[in-house]
Structure 1
Amino acid sequence: MFGPPLDAWYVWIGLAIVSSTAVGAVTALPSAVPPDASGAARTVDGVAASEHAAVGKHPLSNAEAVRIGSDSVSLRGPGGTEHAAFGYGPVVPVLDDPELRATLRGDPPERAFRTPAEFERAVRHARAAKPQWQGADRLVVRRIDWEGTDVVLAG
């Protein structure tokens, strides 16, 4: 009696606008959680804080791609992209250098490199490279100290 009449055209138009706005807001929400970049950064920091040779692994279960820089890690997945900075660093991101990749996987650096100077050059080159997105299912971190070159490899 005191409300708007339900057969008025402006009530139905208003109801249609409100309904479509609500549907649009619900469909715009992400359907998955973003990947855990802070957990990956904690793994890197745990290895980097060690005073001795150490290895750490972190699963990247809901990430499609990872980008590792010398001071941060970024993860991209269906739920979005998340970034986290390292507390310890700088880190050496291992991208496309086969010798550094072998060292990251567990080979001693003296097996992969002929001299400590060659190892140091590869580390400098990897630190200077621009971070790139790459597919991965886990993050591997390894701390190495060989002939005065003390580094944390991540890839």
Structure 2
Amino acid sequence: MFGVPLDAWYVWIGLAIVSSAAFGVVTTLPSAAPPDAAGAARTVDSVAASAYAATGSHPLPNAESVRIGTDSISARGAGGTDHAAFGYGPVVPTIEGSRLHMVLLGEPPSRMFVSPSRFERAIWHARRAEPEWRGSERLTVRRVQWEGIDAVLVG
């Protein structure tokens, strides 16, 4: 008696509009989980908070690219982009193939730099470089101390 008559044209048009809107919402949802920038930032903080030389690594399975700044990290992938700030910093972002990156991978700074002042200068330049998106599957962190210079390298 008070129901909507199913043979009315406006019911079918309304149903079509609602169905199209629901389909549009479902197709715009991401198909994968966003990358875990917060977990990577926790790894950086745990190494940076160490009182001694330390290393750490964090897998980035959902990240297609990563941008590391002196005070934050961003990761983007099929599920979106995630950002997280470091609690300890500033850190030193390294570029693959650089001397600082070799130190990050385990080379002693004394083997890669002729003096502590050159090491300090490389750190200064790395901190002032504009962060760029780079492909990566794993984040590596190393705290290095050499003749009064203390740095947290991230790459």
TM-score range, shorter chain: over 0.9
What's the TM-score once normalised by structure 1's chain length? 0.97
Map of 1:125 onto structure 2: 125
1:46 and 2:46 are equivalent in the alignment: yes
Distance in 2 separating the partners of 1:14 and 1:58: 50
Distance in 1 separating the partners of 2:24 and 2:100: 48
Give 1:5 deviation, angstroms: 1.8
Q: Cα deviations across residues 20-51 of structure 1 (Å, max 9, x unaligned)?
A: 11111111111111111110000000000001
Amino-acid identity (%): 68
Give 1:141 deviation, angstroms: 0.2
Distance in 1 separating the partners of 2:85 and 2:97: 24
Q: Secondary structure at the match of 2:136?
A: coil
1:130 maps to amino acid: E
Unaligned 5+ segments in structure 1 are: none
Distance in 2 separating the partners of 1:149 and 1:47: 16
Root-mean-square deviation (CA), in Å? 1.0
Give 1:148 deviation, angstroms: 1.2
Map of 2:148 onto structure 1: 148
Give 1:2 deviation, angstroms: 2.5
Distance in 2 separating the partners of 1:52 and 1:89: 15
Q: Secondary structure at the match of 1:89?
A: coil
Which of structure 1's runs of 4+ aligned residues deviate more than 6 A? none
Map of 1:67 onto structure 2: 67
Q: Secondary structure at the match of 1:144?
A: strand
